[in-house]
Amino acid sequence: MDETLAAESAAAASGGETAAAEPQQETLEEVLSRHRKEKSKLQDKETSLKKAAAKGSKAEQKAKKKQVEEEISRLSAELEAKHAAELATFGYKSSGNSEKGNMDTLVKAIAGVSVTSTADSAKPSKGARRREKKAKEEAAREQRIQEEQNNLVSDRMIENEKLEKKLEPLGLSIQEIKPDGHCLYRAVENQLSLYSKGTTPQYSYQELRQMTANYMKEHAADFLPFFLSEGKVESGPDPLESFKSYCEEVESTAAWGGQLELGALTHCLKKHIVVYSGSFPDVEMGKEYKLESGGKDDPSIRLSYHRHAYGLGEHYNSVVPA
């Protein structure tokens, strides 16, 4: 009898452990967070594959590059389909005739509001309105990501082909830089290390960030009009304070760098900078330094700008001899 009870207790305990071991269903926020991580992981994989393909003869590199693009295209499509199927379980569909309805459904799901309710008879509380506002922002972001993913592969391939045709006659190629928000500074760091022969000072990307921020703060009058025109700050009582806060972000965060930061870098380094693009006209900055640094011993800094490289984010790479 005791043995029977012991066996039943053990079985019950085992069953309880099995039940406890069963994975809990993910919330929508957890699913969206995992989606972002999976997309980031795919971006890292793409960078790794591109680096591996940039070896061998030109013919081999071209063949490998095409294989990489086809592989990434396939993986992107599979990931997009998987994410769409998972979001569909929360009542959201990435395509269909009722785009607004789908967006509203996703907003409600994120906010924790029932997606089956037909009317909200009671006036929502302040907390509910706040949650819904936050949910709308998150849903809009997710919608943009989905739309970017739909167009990303074709736009990226077109951009890369145009850029390749532009660089090949110049004997240049692209060296991939990690897409982590520091790409502009990492690309400049790479350029300085490539062409340094003991004459050009070496700086890490963190030091380049610090130099850029300090130069912008010291020459605020030169940068503030462009800062305001680019809409980097909302209207406020003191735009200069907003600009200083922006400079602090440049120095201490992974904030993406653009035209303002390039303008500061060219003066900090006293270097001519050329930015090649497959989507826009090429940009030259610091032309006044071209005569001084245009020789073979001190070449210009060459970067590439990619509008469609990684989802919603713009990206810079280093341009090197092929």
Q: Check which CATH number belongs to the domain holding 240 and give it.
A: 3.90.70.80
Residue 284 lies in a domain: yes
Residue 204 sits in the same domain as residue 101: no
Report which DSSP code applies to 22: S
Q: Which is more confident, 30 or 16? A: 30
Residue 135 sits in the same domain as residue 181: no
Catalytic: 183? yes
Angle at 79 between CA 77 and CA 81, to 5 degrees: 70
Residue 304 sits in the same domain as residue 223: yes
pLDDT tens track for 220-277: 999 998 888 876 655 456 888 889 999 999 999 999 999 999 999 999 999 999 999 9
- What is residue 148's predicted lDDT score, i.e. its pLDDT? 61
What's the whole-number mean pLDDT along residues 74-89? 82
Q: How confident is the model at residue 150 (pLDDT cuts 50, 70, 90)?
A: low
Residue 4 lies in a domain: no
Residue 15 lies in a domain: no
Residue 46 sits in the same domain as residue 96: yes
In this predicted structure, the answer to whether residue 141 has a pLDDT above a threshold of 90 is no
Q: Which is more confident, 305 or 156? A: 305
Q: In the β-sheet with 273-277, what is the strand arrangement from edge to edge? A: 172-175, 313-321, 301-310, 273-277, 283-285
- What is residue 19's predicted lDDT score, i.e. its pLDDT? 43
Residue of 267, 306, 308, 315 marked catalytic: 315
Residue 59 sits in the same domain as residue 178: no
- What is residue 153's predicted lDDT score, i.e. its pLDDT? 58
Report which DSSP code applies to 83: H
Residue 175 sits in the same domain as residue 151: no
**Last residue in a domain, options 109, 141, 164:** 164
Residue 12 lies in a domain: no
Helix 220-229 to helix 205-218 angle (10° resolution) is 100
Find which of 141-155, 186-200, 210-224, 237-251 is predicted with most confidence, using mean pLDDT. 210-224
Residue 33 sits in the same domain as residue 81: yes
Which string of b and e fits 198-207 if b means at least 16 CB within 10 Å? Answer: eebeebebee
0.85 cut: is pTM over it?
A: no
Residue 7 lies in a domain: no
Residue 118 lies in a domain: yes
Residue 147 sits in the same domain as residue 209: no
**Last residue in a domain, options 164, 196, 215:** 164
Residue 204 sits in the same domain as residue 126: no
Q: What is the DSSP string of 247-295?
A: HHHHHHS-PPP-HHHHHHHHHHHT--EEEEESSS--EEE-GGGHHHH-S
Spatial distance between the Cα atoms of 176 and 310, rounded to a whole number of angstroms: 12
Spatial distance between the Cα atoms of 301 and 266, rounded to a whole number of angstroms: 9
Strands 301-310 and 313-321 turn out to be: antiparallel
pLDDT tens track for 35-55: 888 888 888 888 888 888 877
Spatial distance between the Cα atoms of 125 and 122, rounded to a whole number of angstroms: 9
Per the structure, the count of domains in the chain is 2
Considering the chain, what is the average pLDDT of its residues?
A: 77
Residue 283 lies in a domain: yes
Q: HSE, CB side, 13 Å, CA atoms: give it for residue 211.
A: 20
Q: Which is more confident, 142 or 181? A: 181
Residue of 83, 182, 183, 272 marked catalytic: 183
- What is residue 257's predicted lDDT score, i.e. its pLDDT? 92
Residue 37 sits in the same domain as residue 129: yes
pLDDT tens track for 158-188: 888 899 999 999 999 999 998 888 999 999 9
Radius of gyration of the chain (CA): 26
**CB atoms < 10 A from the CB of 120, how many?**
11
Q: CB-based contacts of 259: which residues, under 8 Å, 6+ apart?
A: 226, 230, 283
Catalytic: 268? no
**By residue range, what is the domain housing residue 99?**
28-164
**Last residue in a domain, options 164, 191, 210:** 164
- What is residue 152's predicted lDDT score, i.e. its pLDDT? 53
Q: Are 278 and 166 a contacting pair, CB within 8 Å?
A: yes
Residue 5 lies in a domain: no
Q: Which range among 100-104, 152-156, 242-246 shows the weakest confidence by mean pLDDT?
A: 100-104
Catalytic: 308? no
Residue 92 sits in the same domain as residue 34: yes
Residues in the chain: 322
In this predicted structure, the answer to whether residue 320 has a pLDDT above a threshold of 90 is yes
**Percentage of residues in the chain with pLDDT exceeding 90?**
31
Residue 250 sits in the same domain as residue 126: no
Q: Which is more confident, 253 or 27? A: 253
If we measure between CA atoms, which residue out of 295, 317, 318, 299 comes closest to residue 308?
317
